[in-house]
């Protein structure tokens, strides 16, 4: 082992820079100051006023609600602190959803001490992103966005924000992973950049920038047991952010994701062996909706998707990220493996189709389920309630009056009422109109079967 090591060292070339005399101050001293001067003015502090409803001691108890009504306790105001990034000279700012969630007032403070009131243009809990507009703002400093797919592990980055409310700070580090998926971090789920640049409470919504002062991500969370930075922080990649900004500026009030119409799972070693693959990679398709653009492009269950637009895909979260970053209407190339053969298909990303018709219906009359509103499950309804892409049946979309006390929840898929199978909104209305004192409703909630019983 010593001989091998000595041989390797003897062949290792000496660095040329070690033989040169520094000719400038920049070669003598490494400093991030030029990058900070460029990027810091576009990073802002966000102060959000949030109304918090204290729960009473019997809140949510159906017995006490029957006698005393819905007891919510008292309301109080709390101040939330976070960071944001200016991406539009007219006052467009991006931050995390959890920074402004349930806020009644949002105040944004720039590094030059100017203050603006802000309104939310677009917010999405699943992505943990929010786009704000500053009232009366113009000619503000802006951070340009970099294509986050060009990042590599080891690239230098700076995290800029307002941790602990002490004022704007800067920490340096590297990109330690470019595609962390399978995580549920804060409010967001999906694919994240991982960095060892220190990110602390209050940094949420702040900028992760490269050495050219370009925005590569929005700092969103840390992985820590004690609440402080331990060298593992996560940021939302700028490519998804770009899609958010485009939709907000187009007037969308809700983030529109392309629809895959499929379910799948990552390929592990055992699955790769069963599929005859040389190594584990990609995501195997389990189910495909007949209207799925992937199905119409020729893919089928059992195929393994390995890339979207030449970007590797290893999980459903990564596939959703790349589709969301591309946006509805974009054409993408899908690399996949079928029976050992590498294939490529092109398809156009679409919104969840509203077919067959949802046919929403509400139970009326003096019956136990009065105020129950249901709809037929179709791709658009399934996307609204985070159901499986291939889900079928009837879903609860709203509850009022007697139905609000039944134990049902929006998003429940009703399977049967008092033993009668239901498969359409009209069948729910018919079953709900029958006379009975004892009610048993079979539903699927969060993928799990559940039986709800009550008397009327």
Residues involved in catalysis: 98, 128, 204
Among 136, 150, 50, 25, smallest CA distance to 90 is for 136
Tokens of 325: 């970053």
**CA dihedral sign, ordered 144, 145, 146, 151:** positive
Among 235, 63, 101, smallest CA distance to 159 is for 235
Cα Dmax for the chain: 94
Tokens of 334: 């899908």
Q: Is 350 left (phi over 0), alpha (psi -120 to 50) or beta?
A: beta
Full 3-state SS string of 2-70 = HHHHHHHHHHCCCCHHHHCCCCCHHHHCCCCHHHHHHHHHHEEEEEEEEEEECCCCCCCCHHHHHHHCC
Provide the β-strand partners of residue 418.
none
Rounded CA gap, 456 and 158, in Å? 61
Burial class (CB in 10 A: 0-12, 13-18, 19+), 88: middle
Rounded CA gap, 141 and 47, in Å? 20
Q: How far is CA 8 from the centre of its chain?
A: 47
Rounded CA gap, 233 and 188, in Å? 14
Rounded CA gap, 398 and 410, in Å? 6
Among 209, 236, 216, 207, smallest CA distance to 146 is for 216
Rounded CA gap, 373 and 395, in Å? 9
> E strands within 289-417?
304-308, 311-312, 331-338, 341-348, 361-362, 372-376, 394-399, 413-417
Give the number of C-alpha atoms closer than 13 A to the C-alpha of residue 182, restricted to the C-beta side: 7
Provide the β-strand partners of residue 78.
50
Buried b (16+ CB within 10 A) or exposed e, 283-306: bbbeebbebbbbbeeebeeebbbb
Q: Are 234 and 222 in contact (CB under 8 A)?
A: yes
Query: Is the peptide bond preceding residue 356 cis, with omega within 30 degrees of 0?
Result: yes
């Amino acid at each position: 082992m010593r001989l091998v090591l000595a041989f390797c060292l003897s062949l290792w070339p000496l660095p040329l820079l070690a033989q040169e005399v520094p000719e400038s101050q920049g070669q003598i001293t490494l400093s991030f100051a030029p990058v900070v001067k460029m990027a810091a003015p576009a990073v802002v502090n966000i102060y959000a006023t949030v109304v918090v409803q204290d729960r009473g001691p019997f809140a949510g108890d159906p017995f006490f609600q029957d006698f005393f009504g819905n007891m919510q306790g008292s309301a109080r105001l709390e101040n939330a602190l976070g960071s944001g990034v200016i991406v539009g000279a007219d006052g467009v700012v991006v931050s995390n959803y959890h920074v402004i969630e349930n806020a009644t007032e949002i105040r944004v403070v720039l590094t030059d001490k100017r203050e603006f009131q802000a309104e939310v243009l677009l917010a999405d809990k699943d992505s943990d992103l929010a786009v704000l507009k500053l009232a009366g703002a113009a000619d503000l400093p802006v951070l340009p966005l970099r294509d986050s797919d060009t990042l590599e592990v080891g690239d230098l980055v700076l995290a800029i924000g307002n941790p602990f409310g002490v004022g704007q700070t800067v920490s340096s580090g590297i990109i330690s992973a470019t595609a962390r998926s399978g995580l549920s971090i804060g409010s967001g789920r999906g694919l994240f950049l991982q960095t060892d640049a220190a990110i602390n409470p209050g940094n949420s919504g702040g900028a992760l920038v490269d050495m050219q002062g370009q925005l590569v991500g929005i700092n969103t969370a840390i992985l820590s047991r004690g609440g402080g930075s331990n060298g593992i922080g996560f940021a939302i990649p700028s490519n998804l952010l770009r899609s958010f900004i485009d939709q907000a500026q187009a007037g969308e009030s809700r983030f529109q994701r392309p629809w895959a119409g499929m379910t799948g799972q990552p390929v592990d070693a055992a699955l790769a062996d069963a599929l005859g693959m040389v190594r584990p990679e990609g995501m195997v398709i389990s189910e495909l909706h007949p209207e799925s653009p992937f199905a119409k492009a020729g893919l089928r269950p059992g195929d393994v998707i390995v890339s979207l637009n030449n970007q590797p895909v290893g999980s459903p979260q990564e596939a959703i990220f790349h589709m969301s970053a591309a946006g509805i209407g974009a054409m993408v190339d899908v690399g996949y493996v079928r029976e050992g053969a590498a294939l490529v298909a092109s398809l156009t990303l679409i919104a969840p189709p509203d077919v067959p018709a949802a046919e929403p219906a509400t139970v009326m009359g003096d019956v136990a389920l009065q105020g129950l509103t249901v709809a037929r499950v179709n791709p658009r309804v399934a996307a609204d309630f985070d159901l499986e892409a291939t889900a079928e049946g009837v879903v609860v979309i709203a509850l009022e009056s007697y139905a609000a006390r039944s134990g049902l929840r929006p998003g429940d898929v009703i399977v049967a009422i008092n033993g009668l199978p239901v498969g359409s909104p009209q069948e729910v209305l018919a079953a709900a109109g029958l006379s009975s004192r004892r009610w048993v409703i079979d539903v699927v909630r969060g993928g799990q079967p559940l039986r709800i019983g009550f008397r009327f």
